[in-house]
C-alpha cells in the first residue's frame, strides 16, 4: 500500500490551455478521496497525470516515497478502473479478471488463487464461468474492478466508473465500491461529476473548478462550511439558495430585496469577519432544509415571504420553488465561469427552493412565509466570493 502526494502540479497543453493549475492534494494510505467538479474542470486530467497517461508540466507527484513524474504507468504500480468496462466478450469472467496476470506470465496457481480471492470480495463466485454479455451492468463493473484488484496495486484510480449505470444501480454500486475499497484498504482517487456520489462515497472530497482546487475536506464540512460561492452552489441537492443582500449600517438587519431579516449578536460571535460588512453588499446563502413553513403563516423579523412558483412532491418531502424580489446568484453561471468573477458579472435570477414537510399547506400561485434561522445563514464576499467567517 502507498499514499498519493500531488504537490503544486500543473498541466499546460501545447496550445497554451492550462487544464490544471498548482494542484496540491494528499491521499493517505487506505483513504478514499473523491475529486468532483463540472465537466472540463480538470479532474480527469489530474487523474491521468497520476496514472502516467498525461505528462506533468510542473510540480511533483509521489506515490508512496517515490517521485513518480518520470516513471511509466507500469512502474507507478497503479490500477485504473474506467467508465468503459473494456471486457473481452469471448472470455469468461475468470479469464477477464486474470487477463493482466496472464500477460505477465504469472504462475497458474497464483492466478487461480488471486482470481478466487477477488471473486470472493466482489461476490462473483457464481459467475466466474459466465461471459460478459450475460451480466448486468453492475456485475460487469465488478469484473472490471476484479481485474484491477488481482494486480495488488499500490493505489487505485477510478474515472467515473458508475456513469454508465442506471440511476438505481448507481446507488447500489456506490455502497459496493466503498465496501470493496474498505476491505482491500488501498489509497483510492475517484473522479466523478456527480456531487451526490462524491458526498456519499468519499472519506474526503476535493472540489475542482476551472483547473483549480476550491476546497478539500470531509463531506459534511463542505456542506456546512463551504469555502466560497462555487462550493456552496455546487455541493448539496437542491443547491444552496444564494441571494444578493445588504447588511444594515448598525448590523441588526439584513435586507433581501424589499424584506429585512433580523441579525442577532450570536451571528457575529460565530462569524467575526461579518462586522466589517455593516452597510455593505454581500451574498447570503440559505439551505433548502433551513426554510420551513412559518407556524401560523405570520410574518416577523425572522421570516421570508415568497410567492410559490412550483411544487415537487417527492413523497417524504415537498420541494417548493419560490420567488422573492432579491436577485439570486446563479449556480450554473458559477460552475461555467472560468475564473473568479465578481457577482456583478454573473447572471442572476430571483427563484429559490425550500425543502418542507409533505403535508405543508402550500399552493402554486399563492404566497407563503418561510421561517429563517439567522445562525444558519451563510455569508460570502461578493467580489472575492470567499466565505465570510
Peptide bond into 290 cis (omega under 30): no
Residues 201 and 177 sit within 8 Å (Cβ to Cβ) = yes
At 142-154, the pLDDT tens digits run 898 899 889 889 9
* Residue 168: strand, helix, or coil: helix
Count Cα atoms within 13 angstroms, Cβ side, for 116: 6
Largest CA distance in the chain: 78
Query: Does domain 230-380 correspond to CATH entry 2.40.50.140?
Result: yes
The three cell numbers of residue 31 are 483513504
pLDDT of the residue at 284: 96
How far apart are the C-alpha atoms of 246 and 16, rounded to whole Å?
A: 41
Domain residue extents for the chain: 4-225, 230-380
pLDDT of the residue at 342: 42
Tell me if 4-225 shares its fold with 230-380. Answer: no
Residue whose C-alpha is closest to residue 317's, from 354, 372, 281, 262: 354
At 214-247, the pLDDT tens digits run 999 999 999 999 999 999 999 998 989 999 999 9
Residue 329's pLDDT band (boundaries 50, 70, 90)? Answer: confident
Residue the block writes with cell 451571528: 267
How far apart are the C-alpha atoms of 26 and 147, rounded to whole Å?
A: 26
pLDDT of the residue at 31: 97
The three cell numbers of residue 246 are 445588504
Q: Which CATH architecture has domain 4-225?
A: 3-Layer(aba) Sandwich (3.40)
Residue whose C-alpha is closest to residue 239's, from 193, 196, 192: 196
At 13-36, the pLDDT tens digits run 999 999 999 999 999 999 999 999
Residue whose C-alpha is closest to residue 353's, from 381, 312, 300: 312
Residues 357 and 297 sit within 8 Å (Cβ to Cβ) = no
Residue the block writes with cell 420541494: 319
Amino acid at each position: 500500500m502507498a499514499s498519493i502526494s500531488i504537490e503544486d502540479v500543473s498541466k499546460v497543453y501545447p496550445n497554451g490551455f492550462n487544464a490544471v493549475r498548482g494542484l496540491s492534494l494528499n491521499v493517505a494510505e487506505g483513504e478514499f478521496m473523491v475529486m468532483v467538479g463540472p465537466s472540463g474542470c480538470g479532474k480527469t486530467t489530474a487523474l491521468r497525470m497520476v496514472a502516467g497517461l498525461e505528462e506533468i508540466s510542473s510540480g511533483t507527484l509521489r506515490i508512496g516515497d517515490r517521485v513518480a513524474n518520470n516513471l511509466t504507468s507500469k512502474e507507478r504500480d497503479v490500477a485504473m478502473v474506467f467508465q468503459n468496462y473494456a471486457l473481452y466478450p469471448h472470455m469468461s469472467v475468470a479469464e477477464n479478471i486474470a487477463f493482466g496476470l496472464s500477460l505477465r506470465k504469472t504462475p497458474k496457481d497464483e492466478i487461480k488463487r488471486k482470481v478466487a480471492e477477488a471473486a470472493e470480495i466482489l461476490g462473483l463466485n457464481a459467475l466466474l464461468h459466465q461471459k460478459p454479455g450475460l451480466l448486468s451492468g453492475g456485475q460487469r463493473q465488478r469484473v472490471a474492478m476484479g481485474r484491477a484488484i488481482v494486480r495488488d496495486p499500490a493505489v487505485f484510480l477510478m474515472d467515473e466508473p458508475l456513469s454508465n449505470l442506471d440511476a438505481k444501480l448507481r446507488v447500489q454500486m456506490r455502497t459496493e465500491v466503498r465496501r470493496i475499497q474498505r476491505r482491500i484498504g488501498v489509497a483510492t482517487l475517484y473522479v466523478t461529476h456527480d456531487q451526490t456520489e462524491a458526498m456519499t462515497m468519499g472519506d474526503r472530497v476535493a472540489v475542482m473548478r476551472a483547473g483549480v482546487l476550491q476546497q478539500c475536506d470531509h463531506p459534511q464540512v463542505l456542506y456546512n462550511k463551504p469555502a466560497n460561492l462555487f462550493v456552496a452552489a455546487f455541493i448539496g441537492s437542491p443547491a444552496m439558495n444564494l441571494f444578493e443582500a445588504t447588511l444594515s449600517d448598525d448590523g441588526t438587519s439584513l435586507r433581501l430585496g424589499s424584506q429585512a431579516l433580523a441579525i442577532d449578536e450570536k451571528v457575529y460571535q460565530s462569524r467575526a469577519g461579518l462586522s466589517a460588512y455593516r452597510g455593505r453588499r454581500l451574498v447570503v446563502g440559505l439551505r433548502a432544509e433551513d426554510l420551513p413553513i412559518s407556524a401560523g403563516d405570520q410574518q416577523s423579523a425572522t421570516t421570508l415571504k415568497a410567492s410559490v412558483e412550483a411544487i415537487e412532491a417527492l413523497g417524504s418531502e415537498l420541494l417548493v420553488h419560490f420567488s422573492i424580489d432579491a436577485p439570486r446568484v446563479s449556480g450554473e453561471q458559477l460552475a461555467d465561469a472560468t475564473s473568479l468573477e465578481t457577482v456583478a458579472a454573473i447572471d442572476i435570477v430571483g427563484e429559490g427552493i425550500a425543502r418542507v414537510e409533505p403535508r405543508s399547506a402550500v399552493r402554486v400561485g399563492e404566497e407563503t412565509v418561510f421561517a429563517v434561522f439567522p445562525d444558519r445563514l451563510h455569508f460570502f464576499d461578493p467580489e472575492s466570493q470567499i466565505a465570510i467567517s
